[in-house]
Structure 1
Amino acid sequence: MSLAPVILSCGDPSGIGPEIAAKAWETLGASLPFVWLGDPAHLPRGTRVREIAEPAEALSHAGAALPVLPHAFPEAALPGQPDPANARAVIDVIARGVDLVMRGEGSALCTAPIHKKALKDGAGFAFPGHTEYLAHLAGGAKVVMMLAAPGLRVVPATIHIALHDVPAAFTPEVLRDAVRITAEGLARDFGLENPRLAVAGLNPHAGEGGAMGHEEQDWMIPTIESLRAEGYAVTGPLPADTMFHAAARARYDAAICAYHDQALIPIKTLAFDEGVNVTLGLPFVRTSPDHGTAYDIAGRGVANPSSLIAALKLAAQMGAARRG
């Protein structure tokens, strides 16, 4: 494990983020020290808290209490009711977390869920999601979103856009970037020397030779062939409906998919509570639980922390690998 702790940004305090952070600390304790960056008043009543001045203090206090790096919010957090007055503070916490890991005070950044519309309505948040905002904070880095779980990693080459916009947005350049960034990230942060990547076709049956779409024939096959010539272990385009059974998954380390649901449906079906969102291509490690704010159950004490725990563990492992 890295000598620096993982930084956990609080996310939307009206969602389940504070609750699952407290539950994650109860499970992990000193075995995986992390710092919760947010307003301690937003944590569930009864949570044992140790306010700290710098992240390194978490290493000695995590066994007794949840280490908290305080960040004041203007308003209380009402479960299930996002307050526009808190939107700017939510955004500022993310930026502060990035600054901490960029300066080496944290080994990695783990982000609790945000609600994009709430941030847009309350603070004019101009980004489709966490991934795009983190890329902006990193100076416009080219990034990809990878969802990881035991037995499956998937990368949607296009992310938060309408389905009818995918064919125009999914281009040879986008596919090349997705393959290169994924391969480099798996090698650097996961220890896979020459990761095997499988590319899903855009159309049913990967176009079936042009009978169900022409993108595979027109540019996907030539692009994949050119990537293989560069040395990448990449195959495809493959029919998406036969890529995710057990025998198929054993033949690759990550699947590159054309659009959001093509990637997220299989991983959420196979590992709903264990999926982790990873941003590859950043100059720092970032993970997140693979779920949203869950306003409907916030404050009821029933939220499952499994995905956050998996995200914190993966963040620590990736941070140690990158430093090593």
Structure 2
Amino acid sequence: MSENLPLIAITMGDGAGVGPEVIVKAMADPVVHERGRYVVIGDLRRLQQAAEIVGSTLSLVPVAEPEDAVADPATISVLDLDLLPDDLAWGELSAVAGDAAYHYIAKAAELAVAGRVQAICTAPLNKAALHLGGHKYPGHTELLADLTKTPEVSMMLSTPRIKVIHVTTHIGLIDAVRKIEPQLVERVIRRGHDALVAAGVPKPRIGVCGINPHAGENGLFGYGEEEEKINPAVEVCRAAGINVDGALPADTLFFLGGRGDYDLVVAMYHDQGHGPVKVLGLEAGVNITVGLPVIRTSVDHGTAFDIAGTGVVDEGSMIEALRLACEMAPSPKDEVSAPAAGALG
């Protein structure tokens, strides 16, 4: 019965980007509606414009409260915040759109913390627009951590072939190397391990990347960062019963992870993790924020201003993000808890 399905809040993201189109196209997939109920937090008129662009025949209806969302595959329920002008240009940087994107996610976080929705699934925002709108956050991950008063979270990227969790994300490479230290690496390993266990992987195999080429090759490259910053954390986690190897050369580790030798790769910095993931599975990639008191998944792509408003964007990542949000979400009658079994498969 539809009332037993989790209610997922979908945030529209930056209205000048592909978010509205991705949402409308994904909501046309009938399989999506077998797993959950949905309410889009955004602007009704912008979604209607997107529906016209992609040729959708779905009905878009405003709802006053998320609980009023219609469980109908032919309908998209919208909690209309009415923040965007009708003539907002597609594919252009906009402070108004950046500010609106902030308010969509703030509303979703409020509803999720209150237990009125069981998970959040986010369409992409634009960091520059977010900043122009007066909200100085590097991205969704840090924004949601602040909104939910969570001191530390991790970004996990999930594709059908590989899963990656990051020790650092939206900071420069020099700053990332400075920030990495054994306690942080240990917390990220444990956070990734616990997420996979909760998702039905009883003893996940975890590989930890080094920082330098060849993981330093016994001091040949770098200044001993692997021995100082990474290996102590691996040893502590291994002593605690976690099946973890490292520090390992990143290029070799991603090959091994891609063929199935590891359930999770721990990347040290943003591009070390994002590059291989986007090569191996961008179309079905999902971004999961691990450590929040609420479930949050996201598409693994940006606002794509170059194609926004054309209707050609691929909705595969959004469909996969919605699937994971539904599988990770608790029952509507339960309190927010850890991901459901099998959710990250």
Shift of 1:193: 2.5
Question: Quick check: 1:112 aligned with 2:116?
Answer: no
Shift of 1:249: 4.3
Q: Percent identity?
A: 38
* Match in the other structure for 1:291: 301
Shift of 1:267: 0.9
- Output the amino acid matched with 2:37: P
Question: Quick check: 1:273 aligned with 2:283?
Answer: yes
Moved more, 206-215 or 143-152: 206-215
Q: CA RMSD in A?
A: 1.9
Question: Quick check: 1:212 aligned with 2:212?
Answer: no
Moved more, 1-10 or 252-261: 1-10
Of 69, 90, 96, which aligns to 2:107?
96
Shift of 1:45: 4.4
Distance 1:85 1:226 in 2: 47
* Match in the other structure for 2:260: 250
Instruction: Determine helix, strand or coil for the equivalent of 2:120.
Output: strand
* Match in the other structure for 1:311: 321
- Output the amino acid matched with 2:116: E
Structure 1 stretches of at least 4 aligned residues deviating more than 6 Å after TM superposition: none
* Match in the other structure for 1:82: 93
- Output the amino acid matched with 1:34: Y
Shift of 1:86: 3.5
Instruction: Determine helix, strand or coil for the equivalent of 1:87.
Output: helix
Question: Quick check: 1:186 aligned with 2:196?
Answer: yes
Instruction: Determine helix, strand or coil for the equivalent of 1:158.
Output: coil
Partner deviation per Cα, 1:215-267 (whole Å, 9 max, x = no partner): 11234222211111122221111111111225764222110011111111111
Distance 1:105-1:323 versus aligned 2 partners, 3 A rule: farther
Report if aligned partners of 1:34, 1:62 keep a CA contact under 8 Å in 2.
no
Which sections of structure 1, spanning at least 5 residues, go unmatched? none
Shift of 1:212: 1.2
Question: Quick check: 1:127 aligned with 2:137?
Answer: yes
Give the TM-score normalised by the residue count of structure 1.
0.93
Of 262, 266, 271, which aligns to 1:261?
271
Report if aligned partners of 1:4, 1:55 keep a CA contact under 8 Å in 2.
no
Instruction: Determine helix, strand or coil for the equivalent of 1:26.
Output: coil
Distance 1:38 1:259 in 2: 32
Distance 2:202 2:51 in 1: 46
Distance 2:51 2:228 in 1: 59
Instruction: Determine helix, strand or coil for the equivalent of 2:231.
Output: helix
Distance 1:215-1:45 versus aligned 2 partners, 3 A rule: closer
Give the TM-score normalised by the residue count of structure 2.
0.88
Instruction: Determine helix, strand or coil for the equivalent of 2:27.
Output: helix
Instruction: Determine helix, strand or coil for the equivalent of 2:185.
Output: helix
Report if aligned partners of 1:242, 1:248 keep a CA contact under 8 Å in 2.
no
- Output the amino acid matched with 2:33: A
Instruction: Determine helix, strand or coil for the equivalent of 2:329.
Output: helix
Map 1:194-209; keep pairs closer than 5 Å: 194-209=203-218
Question: Quick check: 1:61 aligned with 2:71?
Answer: yes
Of 38, 41, 47, which aligns to 1:37?
41
- Output the amino acid matched with 1:6: I
Distance 1:88-1:191 versus aligned 2 partners, 3 A rule: same
- Output the amino acid matched with 1:3: L
* Match in the other structure for 1:154: 164
Question: Quick check: 1:11 aligned with 2:13?
Answer: yes
Distance 1:62 1:102 in 2: 26
Shift of 1:301: 0.7
Partner deviation per Cα, 1:258-280 (whole Å, 9 max, x = no partner): 11111111111010211100000
Which sections of structure 2, spanning at least 5 residues, go unmatched? 53-57, 331-336, 341-345
- Output the amino acid matched with 1:83: S
Distance 2:228 2:200 in 1: 34
